[in-house]
Every structure is written in C-alpha cells, then in structure tokens.
Structure 1
Amino acid sequence: MPKSAAEARAHLEMFYDAVARRATRTETFGALTLFIREGQGWPFYARPTLGSSVEPTVADVRAVRARQRELKVPQTFEWVDETTPALRAAAIEAELHVHEHPLMVLDPAELPAERPALPDLVTVRRIRADATDLAIVHSVAAVGFANPGTASGTDGPTERDTAALGQDPGLLSYLNERLRTGETVMFAAYGPAGPLCVGSYQHLYGTTEIVGVATLPAARRGGLAAAVTWELARHALTDGSETVFLSAGDQDVARVYDRLGFRSVGTALIAEAP
C-alpha cells in the first residue's frame, strides 16, 4: 500500500491507464485520452493522459464528446480531482454532469480478521464461470444502482429477475469468460430468494479495484455490502494484491467501507452527458 495519499493517487493513475489499455485502442485529444473498446465488453471512457503536464481544456472535452457521439458510445469521463483539478471546470463548461465519489484505499492491517456478521439464512459465496444464475446475479447490480444510496426500498427479487430477462447475452458471455480467466472475481450474498448483494474486482500488477458492489433495496441495512466487500478484499490480499481500492457511491457508502479499513485518498470524479 502506498505510504501517502499523494503516492496512492499516483499509483492509481498508472493502474487506471494500464487496465484500460488491456482491451482498448486510444485516441488523444489535447490533454485527454479516449479509450475505445476492442471487441466485446463494456464501453470505456476518456481520462487525462497519463504523465501529461498540460491541463485539459473545455475544447479538449468537447472534441472527445464529438468523437464519442460519432462512435455511438457513452459520453463519459473519469479522473481524480486532486490529480487533474482543471478538468472539473472544463467538464462543467462543456455541459457535462459531474459526480463525486470518495476514492478509498485499504489499509490491510485494518481489515477485520473476521467477516462482518450476516442475517440468518444468508451466505456469501464466490461466483464461478458457467454459473447457471449469472444473469440473475448480474441483475442485482442493475437494480441496486438504479436505486442509489443506502436507504431501504421495495425493489427486490422480483425486479431483479425481471431485469435478468433483458440482459445482453454478449455481455454475459464476456463476463463469463472474465470469470473463467480470473480477470474478474465476483462474490454474492444469497438468501432463500437468491442473490441479494453482489460485488467484484479486477486486478493487474498487484493492484485490485473493487467495483460494482450493490444490494437490492429490499435487502439493505443488513450488512450484506460490508460482508461481500470483506470477502473481495480478503480474497485479493490472499491472492497477492498489495493495493486494494474502490470508489464509494457517496459519503454514506464510504462509512461502510471505512469500518472495513478503507481510507480516503482523494475524490474520483465521473462526468457524463445530461
């Protein structure tokens, strides 16, 4: 784990760039790099060019947006505020919506020795390749992120199963292959009605990013996200990762991760078209 917040941010910049380059080709627009997906998978985004000493401008942002529209991919940008502070104002001037997410790195010494307690009849297990319920597991995140925050709600297994019917077979095949190769590691919390919470991680060169931790609104406030995140972090450390990090949805979510030993090192920003 990097010793200071500044060192952590510099380390994560290299990770972000390397992970994106594994499956994309790139185009440069001023101080921004657009990562363009090659083959199946989720679309990528634009980021500040690694190592650039030039500040991004509103003209750079608009040029990237025009190219994204041409490619018919989402108009999204991701960066760390403390590393590239000028990009926030440029994105806003280019009429993008900017969202803040606490950027947190795990202190391995602070990760609890035991997994947080689970409600009765709930277990956590790793999702393997060729899981027969992969579409249902993946749909937990779709329902969870459609209802952001930590508040309980009514959407539960019924909405999850409905969302599963609309899953893209190509994306499921891509995810399944990543599970097979170990590029993606996924855990889920199961109750009698099936998967209730899910999360995964991607890793490269001793660094792991935990992503997509989501709980069905009807199953919130039971500690499921904490338990799934603990399993992911423990697995990553056991598998040899030296740095484990994530971006929390908001400050309320960040408090869940803080109890697991994650510490804030900055602010991850995501900008997207209205």
Structure 2
Amino acid sequence: MDIQVQSFAVANLRRRPVVVETSGFVAGFTPDDDSPYLNYATPLPSAEPTERDVAALIGVFRERGLLTRLEFAPEAAPGVAPALRAAGFGTEAMHEYLVCTPHTLTAPQSADSPRVETPTTDVEYAAVDAALAEAFGGVFPPSAQGAARLRRTQQRGGAVRFVRTPQGDCAGGASCSPPAEDTAELSGVGTRPAYRSRGIAAAVTATLSGAMFAQGAGSVWLEYSGAGSRRVYERVGYQPQGTRLYLSLPPEQQP
C-alpha cells in the first residue's frame, strides 16, 4: 500500500496550479496562498536522490520564498529520508495512515445518525470552510479561497460532504480528493466543538468513502490526529496500513 499511497501523492501534487519537477521529486504550489500545507514536495516512488538533487529541490522553494517541505510514505522511497536529513531537514511529524476498502466499509446504522449533505451554493461552501477552520483551531483561517478550493474539489471528481446544525449552518464536514492510482485521500474531517460526540465525523467519513467507491476507487486512505479520531475511523472500516513522514528544512538552514 505504501507504493500506491506514494504514487497517489505524486499524481495529486501534479494537479496543483503550479507544478515543478526536479530529479526524483514533484513540487506542487498554490499561488494564492503561502501556507506550507498547500506548498510542498513529494518524491517519486523508489527515488534515490543525490546531494545535487536535494539542492535543486531546495532551490525551487527558495526562489519562491517558501519553506522547503515534503510529505511522503518513507517505505515507498527508503533512500529519500536519509538524503534529506543529511542536508539538514528535520522531522515535523510522522503519522500513521488508515485505509478503507469497499469490503471493510461499515456505514453507521443508528437511526440517530446525522443527515449528510453535499454543498451546492457559495454560502454552503463558505459555511463548510468556516466550520473546518473552527474545528482545527484556526490552522486554516476561513477564506474565500478556502471555500473555492472545496468547490473545485467537488467539481473535479472529488467530494465534499457536511452535516447541518439545527439552525442550518455547518456543524462539521470533510472532503476527499479525486481518485488517482485507484485510491483517494480523505482529509480535513472536522466538527465544530459544540457539535462533537454526535456521530458527525463517522457519518461524513462513511459517506465520503462510499462516494469514492461508487466512482470506482479501490480504496480510500486518511491520516488521523489522535486515539479518539482513530476509533471513529476504525468503526467505519478503516485499518492501519503504513506511515507518512513530514520533513522540512529549518529557515536558518535554507541556503
């Protein structure tokens, strides 16, 4: 699964508005946002970069004034992490990823399960963006660009789903990328604090996964942030499969 997830990461970055490929790496950039979470690189599966290759990658980020940052499945390219660490890269995080298939998916069965919807209007996309911003503590501030990115995800073959509050606003939601390499990444599962522990995350996750399987994807994968969220995902059919590594070059070490 590591090779498949890493091949997906490459294909997904190649969808970015600006893509730069150097020896062994693909970098994707979002011109309207300088967030390191939207501007990063990933290696090709089985890449074995040289010191020169790493220096070239650093140069791609330096000329844009951005943090040099990578996300990847280390087991899919064992030679990459040592080469990056030798150049001064440090670890931001290592996350386990979970995988769901059509055979393991288990939709919530409770009669009280929240009703999951697809946003259709600008107001609804903005509401989902704002709810996710609140759910993640402002890591991604709500913005017109964020709402537009969610709409593009839906329009380009991915999926966005949400659950309404009793007042008609968004209580929580998530999005899933368009499939590539027979898999898709489900990300940004978030519930506003006032509406947690009501089954929203499980309902949204199961619905999004089912939507991808209906499009023919053989699996959906995601990363989780803690034991509580992992239990939610496991209840709807997600199982551990591997790890993803996040490395970046400290600003003071940028050449």
Give the TM-score range, shorter chain. Answer: 0.7 to 0.9
Which among 121, 127, 141 is matched to residue 136 of structure 1?
127
* Matched-pair contact (CA < 8 Å) for 1:144–1:215: yes
Show structure 1 runs of 5+ residues with no match. 1-7, 149-159
Q: Does 1:202 align with 2:177?
A: yes
Describe the shift of the 1:177–1:244 C-alpha distance in structure 2 as closer, same or farther (beyond 3 A).
closer
For 2:101 and 2:119, how far apart are their aligned partners in 1? 26
Which among 6, 12, 25 is matched to residue 5 of structure 2?
12
For 2:161 and 2:234, how far apart are their aligned partners in 1? 20
Question: Match of 1:50?
Answer: 45
SS state at 2:75 partner: coil
Query: Alpha-carbon deviation of 1:123?
Result: 2.8
For 1:261 and 1:48, how far apart are their aligned partners in 2? 29
Question: Match of 2:197?
Answer: 221
Q: Does 1:270 align with 2:246?
A: yes
Which among 231, 237, 243 is matched to residue 261 of structure 1?
237
Question: Match of 1:27?
Answer: 21
- Percent identity reads 24
Describe the shift of the 1:79–1:248 C-alpha distance in structure 2 as closer, same or farther (beyond 3 A).
same
Describe the shift of the 1:175–1:84 C-alpha distance in structure 2 as closer, same or farther (beyond 3 A).
same
Question: Match of 2:69?
Answer: 76
Show structure 2 runs of 5+ residues with no match. 251-255
Describe the shift of the 1:32–1:240 C-alpha distance in structure 2 as closer, same or farther (beyond 3 A).
closer
Question: Match of 1:243?
Answer: 219
Question: Match of 1:124?
Answer: 116
Question: Match of 2:92?
Answer: 98
For 1:268 and 1:258, how far apart are their aligned partners in 2? 18
Q: Deviations over 1:176-235 (max 9, x none)?
A: 3443x2433111111224211111111234422111111112322222111110111111
Q: Deviations over 1:15-54 (max 9, x none)?
A: 111121133422326x4432344x66783311123342x1
Q: How many residues align?
A: 243
Question: Match of 1:151?
Answer: none
TM-score (norm 1): 0.74
Describe the shift of the 1:88–1:145 C-alpha distance in structure 2 as closer, same or farther (beyond 3 A).
farther
In angstroms, what is the RMSD of aligned CA positions? 3.1
SS state at 1:203 partner: coil
Q: Does 1:108 align with 2:102?
A: yes
Query: Alpha-carbon deviation of 1:74?
Result: 4.4
SS state at 1:249 partner: coil
Question: Match of 1:5?
Answer: none
For 1:229 and 1:141, how far apart are their aligned partners in 2? 14
TM-score (norm 2): 0.79
For 2:110 and 2:209, how far apart are their aligned partners in 1? 13
Query: Alpha-carbon deviation of 1:110?
Result: 2.3
Question: Match of 1:184?
Answer: 158
For 1:261 and 1:249, how far apart are their aligned partners in 2? 17
